[in-house]
Chain A
Amino acid sequence: MNWNDGVAGKARLRSLGSFAVVVLLWMGEAHGQAVGEAGGSPANSATKATDLRGEWLRNGPGFACKVAAGRKLPPELLTPEVLARACQHIGPFVIGQDAKAVKAALGEPHRTLAGSNGQTQWIYFLGQRDHYPYLVVTTLNERIAVLQVTGPSAAQGYGFNRIDLGATSDALVAVFGQPNHVEPSELKDTELWAYGVWPFSFEVKAGHVTSIRISEP
């Protein structure tokens, strides 16, 4: 009955299952900007966890974090948790980083909100005060737990994994593939696109990315 054969192959794909970080360690080239523990100055001694930079790559139904490293990494950095965080950058900040690095780079937050479970949210307007775009840094135990950048158009230097605010949904799909979950956002005419257990999500309005959120892997 006019059944598309392409479906059968897809049906055999395994489901996401539990979250398992697939890390590709790329030793072929030195990576670009390194992020220091306090303020973004390049590390010039031993490589630290926050120095690592990687990129999420779609890998079947899941993702792999491809980490580029210019040198041999010490054993303590060769863990899935550390390497997965290498893909969790927005701008100069990375998930798991010492929260002091944010204040060192951006100063005192424009607003501070007390969150639940001991979390604190720092709000930084990246352009004009009280206007888009803005960055929300959620801290827990003095570490960065969540980073979210919001606005209708690109905030210079605050992209994530080749996706900037204002990117089209087609561009988003080209990098991340189709989402595993879509639901209405709290914002009017806006959808939340999530990727199952993977620690990033996007808000999409009228075919454009209006918010990027990353969290602990």
Chain B
Amino acid sequence: MRKLAGLSLLAILLGLLPALGFDYARYEAADLDALLAARRPRAGFDTFPPRALKLDVTLAAYAEPCQTGLLSRAMTMVGVTVNAQISRCIKVRSAKGAQQRVFIQDLVADFLPKEIPLGHRLTLFAVHLYTTPDGPGLLVNEFKSEPGDDAAKAAANGPNCGCGSPDFHPGVDLTNDVAGAPVRPAADGIVVKVETDENAAVAVPTIGHCGRYIVIKHSYPDGRAVFTRYAQLGRVVGADGRPLAAGAKVTKADKIGEVGSKKVLHFEVRPVGADGVDKSAAWLAQYGADPAMAWSRYQPVDPQTFDFGKLGEAGSK
């Protein structure tokens, strides 16, 4: 782990800060199914005095970018201002199984993967701002896990980076108090994978939802090789600010990306040929034909005990 010294990382995990000052009481208990069944306009959108609603739902998908033009306009029209960035939506399911996309404050969205596993129930504190033929326009300002949801509680105490699950965290999390701080590789190597989509779909659980990431392959004269992955990055760029691409050679002194807004770097090590090669049908179906994803076939080991020195890093090629 000494190779990560250049990261200026603090080995203090960020705590999950409680939402201070949020007035939950102003949100009126409501039923999403009833809301979905309410009258909708045939075209355009209806606005009305905004209603603050408390909705019990199931989380179907984490936040992904969505169009917020109508939301912004409706907020202006009904006189609501929220001093926070809103650029994403999550998908939730009602008690009757209807799926609905709802807007969410970006700041709040960042907490969701840390606290609520997909498929688990949660309570949304949202404002109903408008209705279109597609349904209600809801903006989520806060959420809570459902009381008694042990898995959610475990998730809350699980990986700080959002990678993996409460039962599986394929690496180690390192924190930095400055988003944008440079990230450097553990050793010299070749970039084999650059994932720039923060919300890229992941079909195999051992890969995890890890945001933007880069994978480097380190090869040694004795034929051994190891993949290292750096996840939850902000920008995936080199020292010159240009995006890195697969095939690029990097040294351990090179910048390969920047710490993201979560201020957490997820780091993992996957030695080639180690026990536990993923031969599952799911992996083969999803990634078997993609050489850039070959790294994900190998099981991660504990980066804190893995010794790069034994691989003869000076001879990496």
In the assembled complex, the CB of B307 is this many whole angstroms from the nearest CB of chain A, namely 43
Count A interface residues, CB 8 Å. Answer: 24
A13 within 8 A of B: yes
Contact flags (1/0) for B31-74 with A, using CB distance below 8 Å? 00000000001111111111110000000000000000000000
Whether A8 sits at the interface, judged by CB under 8 Å, is yes
Q: Are A11 and B50 in contact (CB under 8 A)?
A: yes
Main secondary structure of the interface of B (DSSP, over half): mixed
A75 within 8 A of B: no
Chain B positions 71-106 with a Cβ under 8 Å from a chain A Cβ:
77-84, 105
CB of B52 within 8 A of CB of A1, answer: no
> B23 touching A1 by the CB < 8 A rule?
no
B17 to chain A, nearest CB (A): 11
Nearest-Cβ distance from residue A8 to partner chain B, whole angstroms = 4
Are A192 and B50 in contact, CB atoms less than 8 angstroms apart?
no
In the complex the two chains form, what is the Cα distance from A191 to B142 in whole Å?
33
Inter-chain contact B49/A61, CB cutoff 8 Å: yes
Do A15 and B19 touch (CB < 8 A)? no
Categorize the interface residue count of chain B: 20 to 34
Measured between beta carbons, the chain A residues less than 8 angstroms from B19 are 1
B108 within 8 A of A: yes
Q: A13-B49, A15-B48 are in contact. Are A6 and B79 (CB under 8 A)?
A: yes
Q: Is A184 an interface residue (CB 8 A)?
A: yes
* In the assembled complex, B206 has its CB within 8 A of some CB on chain A: no
Residue pair A15, B49 in contact (C-beta under 8 Å): yes
Closest Cβ of chain A to B261, distance in Å, is 15
**A173 — nearest CB in chain B belongs to which residue?**
B77
Contact of B80 among A6, A13, A16, A183 (CB under 8 A): A6
Q: Name B residues whose Cβ lies closer than 8 Å to a Cβ of A.
A: 19, 22-23, 26, 28, 41-52, 77-84, 105, 107-108, 127, 141-142
Pick 24 A–B contacts, CB within 8 A, sort by A: A1-B108, A2-B105, A2-B141, A3-B141, A4-B80, A4-B82, A4-B83, A6-B79, A8-B52, A10-B80, A11-B49, A11-B50, A11-B52, A11-B127, A14-B49, A15-B48, A61-B49, A178-B47, A181-B45, A182-B44, A183-B43, A183-B45, A184-B43, A192-B44
